[in-house]
Structure 1
Amino acid sequence: MNFNKYLSSTLRAMLVLALAFSLFSCGDDGEIGPKGKKGLEGEVGDTGEEGAKGFTELIEAGYFDLTVKGHRADGTEFEELIHYIYADDPFASADSGGRVHITRYQFENQFSYPRANPYFGFDGEYDAENETFDFYYCSFLLEKEDSANSLFSFQANIFRMDNMLIDNILYQDGILSFDFSFSDDGEDNSTKQPLQIEGSFFSGTKIYTEVLLRKK
């Protein structure tokens, strides 16, 4: 028996069988199996460092205390005692022209209230010769919830400072305080009804009347 001839015939037969198997054994792919169970959650990471306060955070600085008496648009009388104690610029420094803007807000965070943050403020100038302040504009916003679905909103922009009496101005070591009262016939407020305001201001922090800018 020729061994080489036998081996050659055997290899050819094996190759034919392997080719036939590869041609006829490749069926369609089966369906995708069911999704496995969700793995366990990882451990909670460490808490990061506290970030710096944003610009919405206000600073407690002195106060505007005032009593507002008037009539709502429907003629109903009201009287509100309001305490504004927060500031975005507690120092209220004068600008290069000597103008001073003083504002206090009712709530600590600018956006914590459903609408605007109620405020009270004066604009004026510092009279260096007489070492006192001359105020020429006043504005304020009062808001109060009457019920779960009713909000009383009252706003005034006072340009006629002839009706504003400012008294007992004290400016010492940068701290400013004064009393004020105002009577309006309805022209300067949103109710268009008579209005009376009495109050006082205490800066709580220094108000700089001169700001020197140094070149770099």
Structure 2
Amino acid sequence: MFIETLITNPIHFFRIVVIVIFSITLHELAHGWAAMSQGDNTPEQTGHLTLNPVVHMGRESLIFLCLMGIAWGQMPVNPSKFRSGKLGNILVSAAGPLSNLALGILFIMMLKILANLSLSGLFSAEFLYLAARINLTLFLFNLLPIPPLDGFHVFSEIFPQLKPLEYTQFGLFAMMVLFIVPGFGIGLSGIAHLVIQSALGGK
């Protein structure tokens, strides 16, 4: 279990927890800001336009993160208020993963800029690399066309024949299979690692 990392490598444990909380919070805020731009004020009305991670993740998700290394978030939106239902849903759904992609790119740029400096603490190379890798992994994971992930909402607007799957047990079953399959998470993280290495010139 992930909690064991607290004993074996506490610095790594707290780095992951901080990065995941920060990344999911901005991910959900990106959904909220996009919804607001599309005419839906639900995020503001429900008090979700905040940097408070408890609001976005909930205590259960935060506890699960510390115990299992798995977390989730939510942003209440009302698609019926979007100025353009189809385009609005695509933009709002894509905003979350794109925020993780932007964070991943930002941390990679910081890695390149600070490559020749001997830094420790928050902006150490290890921290920046981990932040980039986690955000790129979140980007790839959330783009999977499986309900309730963001990728499903994007692809189901492009391919409407997928929409009925949202109201079946397919999503739950698919998610269970993904977490059971050995190496799935490692595979996504591996792709993120290759992207970072490529961006850094193979260093």
Q: TM-score band, normalised by the shorter chain?
A: under 0.3
Q: Which has the higher helix share?
A: 2
Query: Which has more strand, going by share of residues?
Result: 1
> Whose radius of gyration is greater, 1 or 2?
1
Calculate the TM-score normalised by the size of structure 1: 0.22
TM-score under structure 2 normalisation? Answer: 0.23
